[in-house]
Amino acid sequence: MPFIKTRDGTDLYVKDWGQGRPVILTHGWPLNADMWDAQAMALAEAGFRAIAYDRRGFGRSGQPWSGYEYDTLADDLADVMAATGATSDATIVGFSMGGGEVARYMSRHGGRGVIAAGLISSVVAYLLKDDSNPDGVPAAQFEQIKAGIKEDRARFFHHTFVPGFFGVGWVSSPVSQEVVDYSTSLALMSGLKGTLDCVDAFGKTDFRPDLPAFNVPTLIIHGTADKTVPIDPSARAAHRGIAGSQLVEYDGAPHGLNVTHSDQLTRDLLTFLGR
């Protein structure tokens, strides 16, 4: 079943590997489910069922004109769970923008069927800088991202966003040029409308009201050197707002720790799931 259809008729591409307790993985902007391949394979080999899907507007999924706000995106997650039968004993894990789907699912759908949650390099709790969130990201930075995409999307992803995602510097880099090229190719599979709309979604949505809905064990992992999603308004704030959550900080890790710290992330996920 490579595709499922959402309640509004959008086709979503789904990868469903392994058998066992389901772990649903939501991806970061502007990538797709393939960013989870290393962890998904390890989960399947460890006896879990790894389900990863392309968000609407990204990867191989449909590209509708609307639906790029988190209420609809959380409904999409619910529809993936229903269509795959992953409706009980499930763990939902969100990376970066995907953490927002996890948070909104917990509040909007009451965490139905979920026994544990994970927020990896996640935008939760609230990214936008305002009077209530002085550690956040200025609104002008999100407008710069959209302007760069509109001007030259390929150049922006390849020379600006993806290198920053992995912490590539002038002198040294934690990833190869081939990883940068490959990740850029994933980003360029996204549709322009969804790519732009989702900047506003992940950049300006306040998930702090969703945090009390996390009533299951929750693992939060974030890099201390994350320049894409700074750790203070995201992971550390989420940890304070989610009762009983576990925060694991990867010292010096960039945003794309799913690649730069792949083995460590896999071990931490498997340890968490084993508990």
pTM of the model: 0.97
pLDDT of residue 47: 97
Residues acting as catalytic residues: 96, 226, 255
User: Pairing relation of β-strands 48-53 and 114-120?
Assistant: unpaired
Domain range for 257: 3-274
Given a contact cutoff of 8 angstroms between Cβ atoms, the answer to whether 165 and 254 are in contact is: yes
* Residue-level pLDDT at 80: 98
Residue 134: its pLDDT value, please? 97
Cβ within 8 Å of residue 33, ≥6 positions away: 13, 14, 15, 25, 27, 52, 53, 54, 59
Q: What is the pLDDT of residue 7?
A: 97
Tokens 């923008």, located at residue: 97
| Tally of domains within the chain | 1
pLDDT number for residue 237: 98
Q: Where are the beta strands (DSSP E) in the chain?
A: 3-5, 11-17, 21-26, 48-53, 90-95, 114-120, 218-223, 246-250
Return averaged pLDDT per consecutive 10 residues of the chain, 275 residues in all: 93 98 98 98 98 98 98 98 98 98 98 98 98 97 98 97 93 91 97 98 98 98 97 98 98 97 98 92
3-state secondary structure 149-162: HHHHHHHHHHHHHH
pLDDT for the residue 171: 74
Q: What CATH number corresponds to the domain at position 8?
A: 3.40.50.1820
pLDDT score recorded for residue 172: 80
3-state DSSP: the chain helix, strand, coil percent, rounded to 5?
45, 20, 35
pLDDT value for 78: 98
pLDDT attached to residue 1: 55
Query: What are the Cα distances from residue 26, in Å, to 89, 138, 252?
Result: 17, 25, 24
